[in-house]
Structure formats: structure tokens, C-alpha cells
Amino acid sequence: MKLIIPILFFLFLLADRSGLVAQNNSVDQPDTLQIDSIKLHSPTKATLMSVALPGLGQVYNKKYWKVPIIYAAIGTSLYFAFSNQKNYKKYRTAYGNRVDGNSSTVVAEEFNNYSDQSLKSSMDFYQRNRDLSYILAGLFYVLNIVDASVDAHLFTFPKNDKLSFNLQPDLQLTQNNEISNGLKLVVKL
């Protein structure tokens, strides 16, 4: 199962390179266009790469430093999801054994000091945390895709060292000839 996504991604890239994937135009266009020595990135390619394998779109955009952050965020969320799932199953089994009505069912010794209500609340706690961890992992996955797409769109954005923002104190006269204090934002292009 873990190999399916990379294999499908590789096949898609292979099909894209050989021209098997339909283009919007009848003219074959490369993934990057050379116009006046400005290299345009394909946001579609960056997005699809991040969908197939988190972090791959960031590598395509040459933002290598983001890859460990993406894997740390998704990996930590999944670690807590699996840990909470394990604890949820443990408490669910203990609660089920306690309330099944069969006197021959033995509850593990570690749960002897728990009441039925505390077993149920612990089970609900771990279930809620598991669900939240899965939601966070999905959110980090989606943010990875959005980040790759935005970075690809802004890849050729002009980077100017002269661009600056500055807040300066400002004094102005009102209609009553009174001085009012304030700030003004100065933008230098």
C-alpha cells in the first residue's frame, strides 16, 4: 500500500513526459517556459507532486528546508493518532469486559481501581484525541499542498532589495489648527 502512491506518481510523470497526458492546447508545452530569461514554474506540477508525496512540491520549488518541517508535523500528528488509538482500544476492551454482564470475564488488573464511568471517560478521551490527531495530520497534508502551489506561483516574483516598509511618526494639523499625533507607513519600491 505504501508503494502505490510513489508508483502512480512515477507513472504519471512518465506519461506526462511522453505526451500521453492530454494538454489544454494542441501545442506541447514544457513544464517550465523560458521567457526573457525568466524561468516560469508550473504550479500544477508542484501541486501534483505534493499530492503524491508530501514535500516533493517543495523540492521542485527548491525550498528544501521546508521538507523536514512537513514530515515532522505530519509524523508527529500520526504518532499521536496511533498512540491514542492503542490506548483507546485498551480502555474500550476493559470497559467492554466490565459491562458485558458475564461474571466469568476477567478484567486486566491495571483496571481494577477504575470505575465503569472512569473507564468510559478515558475511552472517550483517547478517541477524541485520536480523531483530533488525524484531523491535524490531514490539515498539515493540505497545507503542504497549498504551500507548494503558492511557492510555485511566486517562484518568479521579483525579489528587490530596495523594497521596504517603514513606520514613521507623523504630525498633522487638524481643521481647528490643533496638532494630531500619528504614524505613517512609508513604502519604498
Is the model's pLDDT at 24 over the cut of 70?
A: no
> CB-based contacts of 106: which residues, under 8 Å, 6+ apart?
97
The alpha carbon dihedral of 27, 30, 31, 36 has a sign of negative
Q: Give the tens place of pLDDT for each residue, 70-82.
A: 999 999 999 999 9
Q: Give the tens place of pLDDT for each residue, 97-109.
A: 888 877 777 778 8
User: What's the CA dihedral at 68, 72, 75, 77 to 10 degrees?
Assistant: -150
Nearest Cα to Cα of residue 130 among 75, 71, 79: 79
Is the model's pLDDT at 25 over the cut of 80?
A: no
Q: How much is the pLDDT for 125?
A: 97
Q: What's the rounded mean pLDDT across residues 120-135?
A: 97
Nearest Cα to Cα of residue 31 among 20, 12, 46, 51: 46
pTM score over 0.75: no
User: Which is it for strands 38-40 and 33-35: parallel, antiparallel or unpaired?
Assistant: antiparallel
Is the model's pLDDT at 170 over the cut of 60?
A: yes
Widest pairwise Cα distance in the chain: 92
Q: Is 36 exposed, middle or buried (0-12, 13-18, 19+ CB in 10 A)?
A: exposed
